[in-house]
Every structure is written in C-alpha cells, then in structure tokens.
Structure 1
Amino acid sequence: MTSCRDPGGPWMAEEAPKDPSKPIGAWEETKPPQWKSWQKSPQQKQELCVPQPFHADSPAYCNACLMRLDSEEKEALDYIEAFLTSNEQDEAKKLKFLDSISTLRSLPAFMNKALLVEKIKELIDHESVDSLTGVMRQQAMLAIMKLSKMKLPVRILTQPSLLATCFSSIFSLPPAHTMEEVEAALYTKTLKTMDEMLKALVCEDQEPNLLVLQIILKVWRRGGRKGTSPVAGVGLRDQGSV
C-alpha cells in the first residue's frame, strides 16, 4: 500500500500493483499437502493411532508371552515343547515332563493343548496293568488337575478316551488286598489322586458342571468297576474292599 503525495490532505491508501509472480493468495497454495489431507480425512489420523492386536500364531505374540515367564517357567516350557515332539522312553524324563506341567502358572496360547493332553494319555496307557511299581499314573493325573486349574478347555480334558484310560489303568490292576504293603499304599494314593482329579474336572468353577459329570458317568458305565463311584462328593472306594 502507498500514501498520496499531498502532505496536508488525509492519508489515502492506494492499491498496490499486483505482481504476477506473487499472487495475494500464494501463502494458501503453499500450505503442506498433508494439512489438507487431515482436513479432508479426519479419520485417517485416528486410524494410524489404533494399535493392531497380536495374533496367537504371530512371533510378536509369542515373544510377549515368553517375556512374562520367569526362568523356571521358561525352562519348563522348553522341556515340554521338546518332549512333545520326541519319542522319549526314559522313566525319569517322562516324570520330569509331568512335573514341568505343574511348574507352569499358565499355558502359552501357541502351545498345542490337544497334543499335550494326548501325550499325558499315552504315558498312562503305556503303564503295566499287572503291577503298580511307580508314580507315573499319579503324576499324570496331578498334571491333568493342574491343566484344569489353568483353564484348559473342558472338552479336551474330558475326552472319553482320556477318562477311559485313567479308569482302566487303575481298575485293571490286581485287587489292593493281594498287593504287597508298599504297592497297596501306592495304589491307595493313586486312587485318591484320581478321585481328586475327577472332582476338579466336575467342579472346575466351584459349581458342579453337570455336562462333565454326565460324560464321566457315561465312560464309567462302559468300563468302570462294579461297586465303585466316580461321582464327586461320594468318592472312589478301594476295589479290594468292595
């Protein structure tokens, strides 16, 4: 803007000549293009701030789970994973596998839970039905109890094949009164552990699960011993005293 040449007269503004190379609205046109994009798409900025959820099979999810484990749990998890893919026959290593399950506070999402339970079933199934000389059955049932507390799906823990294996592994043995004192004592402890396992499955959430109870009774009728009862609250009676 420029003033008039008459110093005594009022100040009057004259329109400045337009410079073709510098239009008046030039500053508007030189705004950053991203500013316009935010004005046109207000949701775009919000979408960029939304965190993406982990997937159970993604490496990031697995690493996040492992970071929460202490050294003892990490070692137990590594042993379990290795055992699941092996054909181990050593008694001590089998027991270590079962003990490792009891060490965990929870199961990682990426673990094959169906395979884990199948492996426990195999350990029970491979035990002799002629004598009871070790704690494999007892430790396997304690592992099943532990998995129940870790909220493993009931449909996996109450598979008829698993329940039938547990029942037959006990009641295929000779009567307790025909055993030596040490073997009879071990039998009683194993029987009690199975009773506690069944109660844990039926009362998973403090309230009786009637569907689970029906499954147990159905399997029991197919292969259970006469005079014994798997119903939680009634308990299992020693077959030698029936």
Structure 2
Amino acid sequence: MEERRPPSSPMLAWVEAEARQENTAPSEHHEHVMELLLNEAGSLAVYKKEEESLYSILSFVSSTQQPPGCQDKDLKMKFLRSIISVCRTARNCDLWCGLDAFCKKYELAEHIKVLLEEEPLDVLHTAVQQQAMLALGHLSYVNSVLEGKKKSILLTCFNSVFLLPSHEYLECQSRIYYLRTLDAMDRMLRLFIRNSPLSGFTELQDILQILLPFANSDSEAICERAVGRAAKLTGWLATRFSPEDHSADGGYTECNVPLLGQLVGWLLLCHTCENRQIRWEALDALYYLYQFIQKNRRTAPEASQQPQGKAEAIPRLPLPTATDIATNFGKYLQQSQRTDVILKVIEALRDSNTYDKQEVSGVLDMAIEDPASWLTDVPEIVRCIYRHVECINTASARRSLDSLILCLANQRPREVASTLLQMWPSSDRHANLQVFLYGRGGDRRLSA
C-alpha cells in the first residue's frame, strides 16, 4: 500500500480529509486558498490560533469573482464570523503583528461593505447585517484598517437598516433580526469612537455628519431609528466614555464637536413632535448629552469664566419645554453651536414641518431676550430667515419671526442690511429691503 505523506499543516489535513470523505480531489479553489494561506503564515502572529478562520476569510475573498448576490448565505456568515474570531483572538492574546497588512491586502472592510450593499432594503430575513456590523466593530481594533473608509461604511450601515419598512410591518422573525441588528450597530458606533486613533470627539463628529441627514427625513420610521441611535450613543458617552482614556497623551481632551449644536437643535425639535416614541427617545438623548457636555465644560470658551460647581441637570419631571432645554444647553455650547440651534428652530417653523410651532416659537422668544448669546452670527441667521420666510404662515411662528427680524434690525442694522442687499439683484434691492423689514416689525425703519 502506498504510504501517505503527512500533511504540511493542520488546515491542509482538514481539506484533504474533507476531499477523501467526498471521494474527490481538492478543488482548484481549495488549492488556491491554501497557497494564499501558507504565503501569509509567516507574517501573521495570529496564524497558529486562527488558521481555520483565516482559511475561511481567504476562501470567501477568493470566491468574490461571482456575480453580486450569488454567494451562499452560509459562506457570507462564516466569513464575517471568522473576521470577528480573528480580531478577538488578536486582542485577547496580543497577536496584532501582520494583521493590519492582511486586512488591507485582502480589503476585508470593503468586502463587508459590499455584502451590506447587496442585502435587500425591503426585507430583513438573515443575520448578515448584524454580523457585518459586529465584524466592522472588531476591525476597528486593528490599527488604521478603517482609516479613510468609516464615513462611507457608516452611510452603508445606516442605509441597510434605516431604509427598511417600519418594524410594525416586519414579520416576527424579521423583527428579531431587526432588533439584534440595531444592537450591533450601537456597539459598532461605540467601538468606532473608543478605538479612534485620533480622538473620540473627532469620530463622534464623523458619525453625526452621517447620522443627522437621516434625522431630517420625512419618514417617521427613519427619524425614529436615527434618534434611537443618538439616544443609545449619548447614553454611553455620558456614563461610560472618558475622553482622557482615549486621548493620545492621556490628558484632558477638549470637546470639539462642531455638529453638537445641530444635534441639540434636532433633538430639541424631535422632543416637540407628535410621535411619542420619538419624543421620549429625544428627551433621553438630550438628558445624556447634557451630562456628557457637563463633563467636558471646555466646550464653551466662556466656560472657564463660569463657576465650576455642579450644574443643574435637565429636569425630567415635570416634562421640560423646548425653551427650558435650549436655555440649559446654551450655557455650554459655543457661539457657532448656539447659532446652529437657532437655524434649526427657524427651519422648523415652516408650515410643512409637524413640530409644535408654539413650543418652537418659544425658543426664538428666549433668544430674542438674550441676543448677545444667541444672535451673534447675524448674516447666517438673516440668510436662513430669507430662505424660509415665505413658507412660514402659522400665527405663533410668524409673530416670533417678526420679533426676531425686528430684534436683529435694531441690534445690528448694518449687518442685516448688507446681508440682504448682497442677496438681491441691484434693481430690486431697495424695494425688497423695505418689504422685508418695514411693517413686519413695527414702525421703525432701518437706519443703515
């Protein structure tokens, strides 16, 4: 009987055994994968502990020449779970050497993104989305593998879940997948921030940049999912995240998140909408966001001049009004961030928006009483008013907008006039200026 040579590696033994069991020789694909695997063996510290997972990853990557959507679901799941296993072992055993080069060479993040893009947006019947987001979270531990790719990845992840039909219309099994996928997304977002090579605040800014457009959707389902992610993320930031632990030198890291004002403005408006779930999720997010900002008081340049005693938290009972919330946040936001809140409020006064116009108008009334804090960027506010004024006709909204115009005109007449004149054709400037200002805010004309 011919003596069989021992296999060159345990993985080759597994492949040969499988082939013998099926009475077939190893396929060309297996041979190609084994060649790839053996070529990587010497440079991967995690190779000995995760040989089978690495084989599964390479097997999937080398099979992606098939048309989109033709790969077997089990093969996809094995690929994603293998990435999680390899990254977890590398982390637990400190076996990072060579892993970043391996992930980049075989474009693991890009393959995960393609898998998400191939999933249907009208139904959720597998755990592919869930496992993909868990895999991306684990990949964030690997140095620089996701660098320059996270924004595109985040957009794909949000699209894959936010654009699904409302959970009320999902079948029972799909709802289970849906809830687990949302949990995986929340974990992924936390890991992106915690494992950021620069600072968690930079990562938070990038996440908000992708998340906020979904918040402005006319679809209640999309808005509810977006505000839910904000609530989960701010809850973690307030209770678990320490900027000092994730800064390069371990020292204090200033909370530099320019989009913070837009986030506060959006959540403040969601707190006034008719959908009860969105309202309570928004209040939770605001409560935790306020705690988070309190822990990082250097958000506002003038914070160093304020007393450093413990600030009063946003009260939960009785239910705070939009004005209460804006007043509390105003102490800690930068001037540009306070302007962002005002811009969101003006936009919310449009007739097409379903926010509580009376509550929203109250925020403008508050800003008018303290223009030195809230109405500093006059040109930007005037441009915003001009864009939306023709679509604002609700009585309470119109009164507040007229009062705002009068306040700006009286406080900073030259800036108001010059901004308006720049926006109109030369032939219409004088007439338009009079129509826009005279008679809307009282008897006084501009003394520009």
- TM-score computed with the length of structure 1 as normaliser: 0.63
2:109 alignment partner in structure 1: 117
2:234 alignment partner in structure 1: 233
**CA positional deviation for 1:180:** 2.5
Task: Tell me the secondary structure at the aligned position of residue 114 of structure 2.
Answer: helix
Residues 100 and 143 of structure 2 are in contact (CA less than 8 Å); yes or no, is this contact kept in structure 1? no
Residues 95 and 136 of structure 1 are in contact (CA less than 8 Å); yes or no, is this contact kept in structure 2? yes
1:54-65 correspondence runs (5 A): 62-65=40-43
1:183 alignment partner in structure 2: 174
What letter matches 1:92 in structure 2?
D
Structure-2 change in CA distance of 1:147 and 1:109 (3 Å): closer
What letter matches 2:61 in structure 1?
L
Aligned residues: 177
Residues 137 and 191 of structure 2 are in contact (CA less than 8 Å); yes or no, is this contact kept in structure 1? yes
Residues 196 and 203 of structure 2 are in contact (CA less than 8 Å); yes or no, is this contact kept in structure 1? no
Pick from 136, 139, 154 the counterpart of residue 144 of structure 1. Answer: 136
RMSD: 2.9
**CA positional deviation for 1:178:** 2.0
Structure-2 change in CA distance of 1:85 and 1:240 (3 Å): farther
Residues 66 and 74 of structure 1 are in contact (CA less than 8 Å); yes or no, is this contact kept in structure 2? no
Residues 140 and 146 of structure 2 are in contact (CA less than 8 Å); yes or no, is this contact kept in structure 1? yes
Pick from 149, 155, 159 the counterpart of residue 168 of structure 1. Answer: 159
2:63 alignment partner in structure 1: 86
What letter matches 1:233 in structure 2?
T
**CA positional deviation for 1:75:** 2.1
Residues 99 and 142 of structure 2 are in contact (CA less than 8 Å); yes or no, is this contact kept in structure 1? no
- If asked which structure has higher relative contact order (CA below 8 Å, sep 6+), I would say 1
User: How much identity, in percent, do the aligned residues show?
Assistant: 30
Distance 1:182 1:63 in 2: 41
Pick from 204, 208, 215 the counterpart of residue 206 of structure 2. Answer: 215
**CA positional deviation for 1:170:** 0.3
The answer as to 2:57 corresponding to 1:100 is no
Pick from 69, 75, 83 the counterpart of residue 52 of structure 2. Answer: 75
- Determine which structure has more spread, i.e. the larger CA radius of gyration: 1
Give the structure with the higher percent helix: 2
**CA positional deviation for 1:185:** 2.2
What letter matches 2:172 in structure 1?
E
Residues 79 and 97 of structure 1 are in contact (CA less than 8 Å); yes or no, is this contact kept in structure 2? yes
2:118 alignment partner in structure 1: 126
Residues 145 and 197 of structure 1 are in contact (CA less than 8 Å); yes or no, is this contact kept in structure 2? yes
**CA positional deviation for 1:204:** 1.6
Residues 164 and 223 of structure 1 are in contact (CA less than 8 Å); yes or no, is this contact kept in structure 2? no
Distance 1:139 1:240 in 2: 31
- TM-score computed with the length of structure 2 as normaliser: 0.36
Structure-2 change in CA distance of 1:240 and 1:194 (3 Å): farther
Distance 2:60 2:43 in 1: 20
Structure-2 change in CA distance of 1:206 and 1:65 (3 Å): closer
Distance 1:203 1:240 in 2: 32
